[in-house]
A = this chain, B = another copy of it.
């Protein structure tokens, strides 16, 4: 059973998952890599994965059979386990609990070689529906406080399987980065009675210099103080606290904004490794009170900058966001 442990100084939780790779030599093989010709995520290979938790099958085939367009399965090597109770407990001055959670994989299409940005806007819309459906379902479990959607694309971004996929971890705590953002939002709200992300969007749309792409309901932009070169955020223009409550009529616009933003990044930076995460409101910790504004954060992995930054939380970015946004805007799609 993995364990969740809390750092006593800064309150950050980590997952201690000893089963995954305990001896020094095992690191290269911690998560098995799969050759292209034996990929468990490809169409027709459904028996190689754990049972699906969700799928979109236009032709109405049977679960765990072929014919799907998007498919969600449990992770075969989960970071957290679904069965059990949290059993919060102390150990002297320390706090810990059982590593309870859900760890799922959203397979974005049956095609091994089609990256997310290569898909049609309609197919990306289906991927977004898969995220939303699984988040809605998992937030019904009272043990979970946060559902993290994240994508690792390319080896430099930590991907271990080439077939395009997104991951989703439901966890019994709210991660540190989200707590920091919630508290910043709360402070701004107390001062101004406005959402800080709404204020950011207002200023950015007025200035235009850091805008990457825009449509009727969504905007993507290079943030004012980005940690990474070409870091890009994608946000709903109107205030919306939770991704899982995104209305149906916005899904198409989001899919188009996502596709355009990723295509600009891929063309300019020649298909870089990248990560994205969805930042959204916590679940099951009291609704309505949080003045949060969900968004995607897309982070290309271009340099090995992580050393110093890990120790300090202080980042050096070699590309001004105004230059990054201008270069991304200028790409001909």
Do B27 and A303 touch across chains, with their CB atoms under 8 A apart? yes
* A58: interface (CB < 8 Å): no
Docked complex Cα distance between A316 and B4 (Å): 9
Interface-located stretch among A107-115, A126-134, A222-230, A252-260: A222-230
Interface pair B297/A181, CB less than 8 Å apart: no
Cβ B14 vs Cβ A225 within 8 A? yes
Question: At the interface, yes or no: A288 with Cβ under 8 Å from chain B?
Answer: no
A156 within 8 A of B: yes
- Complex contacts, A314 vs chain B, CB 8 Å: 12-15, 148, 171, 175-177
Q: Does A74 contact B (CB under 8 A)?
A: no
Task: State in angstroms the CA–CA spacing of A171 and B315 once bound together.
Answer: 12
Give chain A interface residues in 1-50, CB to chain B under 8 Å.
Answer: 3, 5-18, 20-22, 24, 27, 30
Determine, out of A62-70, A81-89, A192-200, A242-250, the stretch whose residues face the partner at the interface. Answer: A192-200
| A117-125, A212-220, A317-325: which lies at the interface | A317-325
| Also in contact, A303 and B30, with CB within 8 A (given A9-B196, A270-B24, A316-B15) | yes
Contacts of A308 in B (CB 8 A): 148, 150, 152, 158, 167, 169, 275, 277
Determine if A310 and B10 form an interchain contact, defined as CB atoms under 8 angstroms apart. no
Task: Please determine whether A316 and B184 come into contact, CB atoms closer than 8 angstroms.
Answer: no
For the complex, give the distance between the alpha carbons of A299 and B307 in Å. 9
**Copies of this protein in the complex:** 2
Chain B nearest CB from A234 CB (Å) reads 13
Q: Which residues of B contact A304 (CB under 8 A)?
A: 155-158
Please tell me the number of chain A residues within 8 Å of chain B, measured between CB atoms: 91
Measured between beta carbons, the chain B residues less than 8 angstroms from A327 are 24
A22 to B24, CA, bound (A): 38
Residues of A within 8 A of B (CB): 3, 5-18, 20-22, 24, 27, 30, 79, 91-94, 148, 150, 152, 155-159, 167, 169, 171, 175-178, 180-181, 183-185, 188, 196-197, 199-200, 203, 207, 223-227, 229-230, 268-270, 275-277, 279, 297, 299, 301-308, 310-321, 323, 327
Rank and list the top 4 A-B pairs by shortest CB-CB distance, nearest first.
Answer: A277-B311, A176-B313, A158-B307, A175-B314
24 contacts between A and B (CB under 8 A): A5-B225, A6-B225, A7-B225, A8-B224, A9-B196, A9-B200, A12-B227, A14-B226, A17-B318, A18-B319, A20-B316, A21-B229, A21-B303, A24-B270, A24-B327, A93-B196, A93-B199, A93-B200, A148-B308, A152-B308, A158-B305, A158-B307, A227-B310, A277-B308
